[in-house]
Structure 1
Amino acid sequence: MAKALEQPVPGITVGHALLARANGAAQPVDRIVHDGDTINIAADGNFGVRLLGVDAPEVSFELPRNPNFPDFPKGFVDIGDPAWTTFLTDPFAKGYQDLELRSALRAHLLTRLGPQTAANHAAHAAPATRALKDMIKLDITEQGLDETTFKIRLAFAHEILDRYGRLLCYVNRDQKQPPRPPAYNERLLAAGHVVPYFIWPNVDPFVRQQDRVADAVPAPGDVRALAESGALGRARQAVRQARDAGLGLWDHAGPLMLLPFELRFLAQRRAPDRYLIDLSDNAKELLHPQSYFRVPNPEDRLFVNAEHAPLFGAKGWSVPPM
């Protein structure tokens, strides 16, 4: 499917558009040009949307190349493929591109890796995918609509696009009359189908955002108010309840072994590069990106992109070198 936004090369995002439409018909240039610096357009293609605050087990991903495994399939490969079993049994085997990890993180990962890791990941990915499909289909039915008339509401936080050109959103059915159900992001967390993946400053789209991202930096030791209120507070509580109940990927008999972002950085051969705040503590320091596992519960992890770390340092937080 054609994309309205895409990244032809890393770091470059481009869009594709048409002249604005009215009732499906293209509008004349005289109508779509508002003034010398403003025009109205319609997207030419589809938007990819990445749900904020959640991370689902991967259905497929690209395997790293290794001359010792020349038969590894290329492109996005189903996690159930035997090649993934080989890779996740030992992603540090000879022949892969070097991945420089601290010894403590490597030791942590080794407790989660093995012949069953890929099958475990695939087993949890399927219900998560099915759950989101079912939620959307149920909303369509409940509203008495069909796939041609159903509308989606997107709520944005501070950042609009990710590095792949996808929209970063809280996603829900479009509904004018209250009460509106929780966003799909929150519903998936409550059902235990996804892992929380909170990345500052995209933690709550339903409050007035500061004019500058620097103004959103909490003071050292004052993160509890952020952690326990709004969308972030509701999401953290939902995750704790799902885990206690053994729902979804928290299944007490067979929980998710490897987190989705761990699978990605192992496959991409790129060490974690987001700092971390421990939301369970009156934190005054950012933890090193490779120390994320020292915060045991994922709902207590608030990740901070490296480019935002200096803002925290300027506010008085302790920031370790990368």
Structure 2
Amino acid sequence: MAKAIEQPVPGITVGHALLARSAGSPQPISRIVHDGDTINIAADGNFGVRLLGVDAPEVSFELPRSSDFPDWPKSFVKISHPAWTQFLADPFAPGLEPLPLRSALHSYLLGKLDATTAANHAAHGGPPTRALMDMITSDIAEQGLTPETFKLRLAFAHEILDRYGRLLCYVNRDQREKPRPAPYNERLLAHGHVMPYFIWPNVDPFVRQENRVAQAVPEPGSARQLAERGALGQARESVRQAREAGRGLWNPADPLRLHAFELRFLAGRRAPDRYVLDLSDSSRELLHPQSYHRVPNPEDRLFVNAEHAPLWAEKGWSVPPP
């Protein structure tokens, strides 16, 4: 499927558009040009959407390239593939590109990795996919609509696009009447289908956004207050309830062992680079990116991109060197 926004090569994001439409027909140039620096357009292709605040187990991903493993597929491959079993049993094997990790994180990951890790991840990847499809299908039926007439409502936070050109938002069915159902993001968390993955400053799309990202940096020591507010507070409570009930990924008989972001950085051979704020603590520090595991509950981790860390330091937070 053609994408309206894509990355033809890593680091380069481009978009594809048409002249603005009305009832499917292009509008006259005199209507689409508002003034000398503003035009109205329509997307030429589909948008990718990344649900904010959640991280589902990977269904497929790229394996690392290595001449020592020539039989490994060179593109996206399902996590159920035997190559993933081999890789996740020992992602630090000789022949793979070195992945420099701190000893504490290395030891933490070793406790999750063996010949069954890939099968565990693959088994947990199917239910979230089916759950989201079922939620959308159910919403279409409840509203008496069809796939052709069904509409979605997107709520954005600070950042609109991720590094892959996907829209970053909370997603729900488009409904004017109240009460509305919770966004798909929260529904998935509440049923334990996904792990929380909160990345600042995209923590609450339902508040007025500051003009500058720097203005959104919280006061040092205010993590607990931040953690209880708005969409972030609701999402954290949903996760806590799902974990205590043993739902989905939290099933005590077979919980998800390796989180999706861990699988990605192991396969990508890139050490974690997002700092971490412990939302359960009142300290005035950000944790080093490789210390995220020191915060035991995933809903208590608020990740901060490396490029934003200096803004936190300027506000008075203690930020360790990379």
> In structure 1, what is the Cα distance between the partners aligned to 2:12 and 2:72?
29
The percentage of counterpart residues that share the same residue type is 76
Give the TM-score of the pair, scaled to structure 1.
0.99
Structure 2 residue 202 is the aligned partner of structure 1 residue 202: yes
Provide the residue aligned with 1:190 in structure 2: 190
- 1:253-274 Cα shifts (integer Å, max 9, x gaps): 0000100000000000000000
Q: Match for residue 86 of structure 2? A: 86
1:309 and 2:304 correspond = no
Q: What does 1:13-92 align with in structure 2 at a 5 Å threshold?
A: 13-92=13-92
* One-letter amino acid of the counterpart of residue 283, structure 1: S
Shift of 1:11: 2.1
Does residue 247 (structure 1) correspond to residue 270 (structure 2)? The answer is no
Q: What amino acid is the match of 2:103?
A: S
The 2-side partners of 1:212 and 1:39 are apart by 25
| Contact 1:196/1:299, CA 8 A, preserved across alignment | yes
Cα pair 1:277 1:287 within 8 Å, conserved? yes
Aligned to 2:112: 112
Question: Deviations along 1:148-192, whole A, 9 cap, x unmatched?
Answer: 000000000000000000000000000011111000000000000
Residue of structure 2 equivalent to 1:12: 12
Question: Is the 1:200–1:303 Cα contact (8 Å) retained in structure 2?
Answer: yes
Alignment match, 1:259: 259
Task: Tell me, in whole angstroms, the C-alpha distance in 2 between the residues paired with 1:96 and 1:225.
Answer: 43
Segment of structure 1 superposing worse, 171-180 or 23-32: 23-32
Query: How far did 1:111 drift?
Result: 0.3
Give TM-score, length-normalised by structure 2. 0.99
TM superposition shift of 1:101: 0.5
Separation in 1, partners of 2:257, 2:236: 20
Q: Which contiguous aligned blocks of 4+ residues in structure 1 show a shift greater than 4 angstroms?
A: none
Aligned residues: 322
- Tell me, in whole angstroms, the C-alpha distance in 2 between the residues paired with 1:78 and 1:250: 22
Say which SS state the counterpart of residue 92 (structure 2) adopts: coil
Distance 2:169 2:123 in 1: 26
Judge which range, 246-255 or 27-36, deviates more: 27-36
Alpha-carbon distance in 1 for matches of 2:57, 2:82: 17
Q: Structure 2, unaligned stretches of length 5 or more?
A: none
RMSD: 0.7
> 2 CA distance for matches of 1:70 and 1:130?
33
Structure 2 match to 1:137: 137
Residue 263 of structure 1 aligns with an amino acid whose one-letter code is L
Q: How big is each residue's C-alpha offset from its partner over 1:45-79, in whole Å with a ceiling of 9 and x where there is no partner? A: 00000000000000000000122211101211000
Specify the code of the residue in structure 1 equivalent to 2:48: G
Q: Distance in 1 between matches of 2:241 and 2:78?
A: 31
Matched residues in 1 for 2:36 and 2:211: separation? 26
SS of the residue corresponding to residue 13 of structure 2 reads: strand
Partners of 2:277 and 2:34 in 1: how far apart? 45
1:219 and 1:41 map into 2 onto residues whose CA distance is 40
Match of 2:125 in 1: 125
SS at match of 2:31: helix
Q: What whole-Å deviation, never above 9, does each CA across 1:105-126 have from its counterpart, x for those lacking one?
A: 0100000001110000010000
Q: Distance in 1 between matches of 2:180 and 2:283?
A: 34
> Helix, strand or coil for the counterpart of 1:318?
coil
Task: Tell me what 1:280 maps to.
Answer: 280
Find the aligned partners of 2:27 and 2:166 in 1 and give their Cα distance: 27
Amino acid of the structure 2 residue aligned with 1:185: N
Does the residue aligned with 1:307 lie in a helix, a strand or coil? helix
1:283: how far off?
Answer: 2.3
Aligned partner of 1:100 in structure 2 is: 100
SS at match of 1:156: strand
Asked if structure 2 preserves the Cα contact closer than 8 Å seen for 1:277 and 1:283, the reply is no
Contact 1:156 1:168 in 2 (8 A): yes
Structure 1 distance, partners of 2:99, 2:223, is: 33
Q: Quick one: which amino acid aligns to residue 57 of structure 1?
A: P
- Could you say which residue in structure 1 is the equivalent of 2:231? 231
1:10 CA drift (Å):
2.2
User: Alignment partner of 1:159: what SS?
Assistant: strand
CA positional deviation for 1:9: 2.1
Gaps of 5+ in 1: none
CA shift digits 1:22-58 (9 cap, x unpaired): 0011112122111111111000000000000000000
Deviates more, 1:4-13 or 1:291-300: 4-13
Matched with 2:165 is: 165
